[in-house]
Chain A
């Protein structure tokens, strides 16, 4: 079993903060097929469409039949750890600081032999299950996990290095007024976050479910209005150095298309709350998140964007809203590039209509805020970068892959 993660000691204020270093992140264009799978927490390898061979590492032609038809697909991740070694000395600056480091050779049942990082509970000669993870550089690596769940498995230092587990981390929920923000507060508290800061704008307005919210363990209400630059920078100045995960729950869902709305005031609010709100959070908290990417066991870990899946394809019923979500999606890709030098991940959680008043007349299936919160926590524990939560989001994703033009027409036809 892994040693349970202890609450990290308070930081020595006289010691220099450890700066982030990254493992080598260069991958071939083809090998980013693994990155794509790791980003979503899937396990995938190339499978030759002509001879069914499973080559590894990724190649541009099948080493057995020379076919170029080598699509990535699901492959059984189970196998056996046939050899292991513990590296105690390295010239690589990132690994030097993290010695000793176990690596091993895994023979997959599907065929290939793969060099992988080893979870502490894996045993030479025993069955293991490979997982694709994004390391601190944002590139895919193979991690061998024990075939069966082991006690405190999540506390393994190799695994924690590749994931954003909220346990003992300090989380900021940017807007606690809405159902999603409150569900997030509950989920992160239950996941063992050591502080859950919950931002509340306009404190003079009654706060729905105030009693329930303040009863959640380790919740701390803080004044925060993502539309107010001063409010965001003030919170960052006061607490930025002790926030490890930011979940931007600020939302402004309003129905209506582009032409139909007739004026810009709602669209401006949408952009101000969603897009500029995200930028304000990014500008105020981004530098310190990036700086603290290797700051001990509760280092800065992730910025979470909650995005309508219609960021990927406009839904004219909520057309202007979809456009604002698309702007946020684009900004998230930029943020990823900007936070990567700190080893800090940007998780995008895509979802369809929620079980909230702003989707009241939309027929089911609709996603419960608690289900979204649960999925976000799970994705952080798994170290994912993109998740599609709920039936609608999954469906849109599939239809985008097969025929995006058909999806555009169909979303626009009712």
Chain B
């Protein structure tokens, strides 16, 4: 294999021959976070405290301190996040091999189904139909679930009712199958979590967490602009913060696409 010409790559990015799409939600105090029953510890929402803004607190400089949970905003889930992945090697954000942070993506468009049913569940059958059109999902890449959930109002986005959240996600069978039969790198969604809003009733509960992390795979959630990605062909750059033994982290997720003329 010849050495790839990285300068050509850089030039293509600079000229727009390779497009860069930002799949990240802005970290803001208003963005919904996962809500657990109130007797549990909660994921801290994003908060900003100004340290100075060219004033008496610091005459020539503006800066802030922020607080945030590891699972707030667009964020990465490491295997150590879930009990099923707690004993795996290299399972935390600081020890995951960095080459895992750059990988291709298969984008499954479920936006029509999710629009009809907020509790839409991705099945093996659905993925097999996708493969019939776009080809088999290659090992080592992300599977991203496009639901257009990121376009919703925050209220509809969270989808909270008195019996919990109602947001789309994968079935236990399809997650297990993606890991075992397709050897994917991880699973990504637009919703607040990789699992469906009602996934605590699944067997096992939270299958995207249970199976993906149990086999050392990763999660991405609160993604946006998945509608701008092709079913195949995008490269995802998703590198979490290097937090010592971190279970995940907010991050900037970028997609690289061919086709600057588009």
Contact = CB atoms under 8 A, between A and B. Distances in A.
Nearest to A208: B162
Given A225-B29, A228-B29, A269-B42, A204 B48 contact: no
B48 A203 contact: no
B47 A227 contact: yes
B29 A231 contact: yes
Interface residues of B, number: 18
Contacts of B160: 204-206
B194 to A, nearest CB: 20
Given A203-B155, A204-B155, A204-B160, A229 B32 contact: no
Contacts of A227: 45, 47
A263 B32 CA distance: 25
A277 to B, nearest CB: 12
Contact of A266 (B41, B153, B157, B158): B41
Contacts of B45: 227-228
Contacts of A204: 32, 153-155, 157-158, 160
Contacts, number: 34
Nearest to B152: A204
Contacts of A266: 41
Contacts of B154: 203-204
A91 interface: no
Interface residues of A, number: 15
Given A228-B29, A229-B48, A229-B49, A205 B35 contact: yes
B245 to A, nearest CB: 15
Contact of A206 (B32, B42, B48, B161): B161
Interface of B: 29, 32, 35, 41-42, 45, 47-50, 153-155, 157-158, 160-162
29 contacts: A202-B32, A203-B154, A203-B155, A204-B32, A204-B153, A204-B154, A204-B155, A204-B157, A204-B158, A205-B35, A205-B160, A206-B160, A206-B161, A206-B162, A225-B29, A227-B47, A228-B29, A228-B45, A228-B47, A229-B47, A229-B48, A229-B50, A230-B29, A230-B48, A231-B29, A263-B41, A265-B41, A265-B42, A266-B41
Interface of A: 202-206, 225, 227-231, 263, 265-266, 269
